[in-house]
Amino acid sequence: MRVVILGSGRGSNAEAILQAQQAGQLGRARVVAVFSDKPDAGVLSLGPRFGVPASYIDPAPFKTKLEGEGEARFIAAVRAAQPDLVVLAGFMRVIKPGFLEAFAGKIINLHPSLLPSFPGLDGIGQAFRRGVKVAGCTVHGVTAEVDGGPILDQATVRVVSGETLETLAKKIHAAEHALLPAVIARLSAEI
């Protein structure tokens, strides 16, 4: 199963996927490319470290969504990698119909809350401010509804007395780093 990762930030979830691949824990999945919408994103530095092509793609003209010329550039680059699965790992853009149609049924996302609770930006902060006793993360299929696609799997973490937003975020990120590679491995066995 050919996997393409899209990321916008430091790339900790992409790194977890690539480490799992290196350790033989990604099943039949193989990461074939990493793309970012930020020219200085840390996720791009993972390519050389793990022997995977990593490239910046200009997302212009929009700042928060993938549409228009930027969307066309992303579609062309991802299509050239011939993915069986496109993984949004900290990709901070709203995906629009053109991209969704180009890779229908092949796009998954990792979200830092137990969906359907706390979709959108700052899922961890939303959960913390709400005072939940159990938080976590979700891997879901991507649809036109932001964070509304079918849930593939979730991991929970307990919110303990005296928890801070920072300690909760660390626990959720650790859960993400285990959950996302496990879901990819499972999906690779189903192909």
* Catalytic positions, written as ranges: 111
Stretch (H or E) spanning 68: helix 68-80
Whether the link from the prior residue into 116 is cis, omega within 30° of 0, is yes
Cα gap 107→109, rounded to integer Å: 7
Stretch (H or E) spanning 100: helix 97-102
Chain centroid to Cα 123, Å, comes to: 14
Q: At a CB cut-off of 8 Å and minimum separation 6, what does 106 contact?
A: 83, 84, 85, 86
DSSP string, 149-190: SPEEEEEEEE--TT--HHHHHHHHHHHHHHHHHHHHHHHHHH
Cα gap 182→170, rounded to integer Å: 19
Spatial contact of 55 and 44, defined as CB atoms under 8 Å apart: yes
